[in-house]
Chain A
């Protein structure tokens, strides 16, 4: 029994049953397959998280975001600038207690280099209802290449707990045709 010492003191010499061996083989191959699937998706898939990351001082990131915002602001929404950058350009969104800033207006089908970083604590970039979720750290500038494939109004919910105002932290991305 499992709660007594094995009756056969030389238990490691016992033969393993065939069914068990078959199952171990299937399960092992499935593991290899799942491993290969992740690798393959890096080569062939269109949804992979970029590895482009730089160390950055929060103030520097803020300056870059402000400069970007001033250059491309087209209007305001709830007192937040709405920024319409050139297709294909570098775009910035900073996170801080408790907002995503500024609002972006992107063109469907265009590829942008989105720079993300935090001014204070960690935040969670959760693009809804698309459901793309990326962790945002202070001190790290993460450059994510993003191509909207739908148009409409999208929201950025914070999904990393960041203190008492966490549930009020919502940003916006518009995608136009």
Chain B
């Protein structure tokens, strides 16, 4: 139970490790340091990118309009890169190392290569920022050709991607070592399985990125004359969308992990949950289709088949998790003794624990706001009404901010005591953080979707068209939506800023964690057990889960209703054929 590192054998090879006071697992010091480094850089870029996001939201608030158009497009490009790419992927590296070395009780494969990966990613991220801030690369993070950025823009992304790819191989190598050295028995845990799915998708994604970014880089240097605009988008989104599926797999893994750590939740059915994860790999690869539904040059048959990822089987995967995660929590809580009524298990959940609150809000907001809007937006014909409007960023702020980012924040509240071995400083403030950020993120999502429904264009510096020859007046409600979006953006920025400050101060000045305080350091829990919370009776066959049925039925009703409302709107549009 010592906190200081000792050298010993993990599996076959000598490595420095310490023993986790909470779980008794051997924690490889190299893995621990890499998790720390990746998480810290992720959070720094969240801070930078979040600030850019706030500036963007304030510019889109017509009454405030803080940035001039040139600067707005520059900052918007930087915002997309820093948060979607840098924050998310650095954090995912930390998740991969955590889900392999730590959870499997194993040493990390080739820590040197993992450090090389880290350095490449960091160099790429810094170069991308410098290049964008120099001003010649305001092309948005999608950089649709023939818009051309400075060559270093593409180069920086390639370097970043190579780094991330190396990180994926380190993860896979660690799984191989763990298996060889038998650091676990039977199959890998569900959370590691989810991370494995994320990793496999990441490799596909990064390969697509190489296929598109390398020629584009050469084109920007003048070695290639022409890049087909439709082909570019198709391959670019094979990277861009699949990488959202990495986020999905990673965040679902976290949704399983946090209730497991805090409540001892156990999947209702390992088979079903694993199959649902597998669906992400099997049915996502053509998802770039739903970014191209109103593009000329692709047939309707192709669009219909691929936007539904072959009859919505990837969506089915998410809907299954949407049942089995609350179901697992309900079963665990009932087993913990919270059996009164339909919802005592939920009422008595540890709402004051930011890890739990963040995880649960992330699940609910992702499902209700992000999931439903995504399926509707990705319906071939409905997309005609919504393509490139503010509805699109509205949708993905629900998925990637309220969903993924909040899930990552929630996990961080456990990583700080478990890996950084520090208590969360200011626990009372930390308790409120997920709610503030969740409300802000839900707000920006909803208000951007609202503005998009009213036709407001995304990536647009001035919807009052003051410098335009011809003008157009959006309805006053659109201006209202953008104003509310600005306010929600401030709330999200406060919530996000609070997260950054709490974590940085905890890591620097938090009380040291050892065996005496590890349990408290994880925050309030429904029952004071961490490692021995394995229940035999998580199976829904044994348990009746009325609360989960009601939650899922509510979700499904909202989904169906909203879906048909949009078809109704569509039917009122001018006729198109």
The chain A residues found within 8 Å of chain B, CB to CB, are: 1-9, 11-12, 14-20, 23-24, 26-28, 30-32, 34-35, 37-39, 41-42, 45-51, 53, 77-80, 99, 103, 111, 116, 120-122, 124, 126-142, 144-150, 155, 157-164, 166-172
Contact = CB atoms under 8 A, between A and B. Distances in A.
B282 interface: no
A132 B556 contact: no
B184 interface: yes
A38 to B, nearest CB: 5
B146 A120 contact: yes
21 contacts: A2-B260, A3-B260, A4-B260, A5-B184, A6-B189, A16-B272, A18-B541, A19-B327, A20-B269, A35-B312, A38-B381, A42-B304, A45-B571, A49-B381, A78-B469, A131-B389, A134-B387, A157-B455, A160-B388, A164-B73, A167-B69
A103 B470 CA distance: 10
Interface string B215-236: 0000000000000011000000
Nearest to B459: A161
Given A47-B574, A137-B230, A160-B459, 12 more contacts: A2-B266, A12-B270, A51-B300, A111-B575, A129-B455, A140-B296, A147-B575, A155-B472, A159-B387, A159-B458, A166-B69, A168-B467
A138 to B, nearest CB: 7
A146 B576 contact: yes
- Candidate in B293, B460, B563 with the most chain A CB atoms within 10 angstroms: B460
A171 B468 CA distance: 10
Given A2-B256, A11-B187, A124 B229 contact: no
Given A34-B379, A47-B570, A133 B294 contact: yes
A110 B108 CA distance: 68
Majority SS at the chain B contact face: loop
B48 interface: no
B268 interface: yes
Contacts of A121: 144, 146-147
A31 B387 contact: no
Contact of A38 (B188, B294, B380, B462): B380
B295 A137 contact: yes
Contacts of B540: 17-20
Given A35-B311, A140-B230, A146-B574, A2 B189 contact: yes
A27 B312 CA distance: 9
B534 interface: yes
Interface of B: 69-70, 73, 103, 138-140, 144, 146-147, 184-191, 229-230, 256-257, 259-261, 264-272, 292-297, 299-300, 304, 307-308, 311-313, 315-316, 319-320, 323-324, 327-328, 375, 379-381, 383-389, 454-455, 457-463, 465, 467-472, 474-475, 533-534, 536, 539-541, 545, 548-549, 552, 556, 559-560, 563, 567, 570-571, 573-577
A70 B144 CA distance: 33
B191 A149 contact: no
Given A31-B315, A48-B577, A146-B574, A135 B265 contact: no
A55 B230 CA distance: 12
A16 B538 CA distance: 12
Contacts of A5: 184-189
Contacts of A162: 147
A43 B172 CA distance: 47
B294 A134 contact: yes
Contacts of A46: 571, 575-577
Given A2-B265, A159-B388, A128 B455 contact: yes
Contacts of A41: 380-381, 567
- Candidate in A7, A127, A145 with the most chain B CB atoms within 10 angstroms: A7
B300 A14 contact: no
A142 B296 contact: yes
Given A1-B534, A3-B103, A129-B455, A168 B187 contact: no
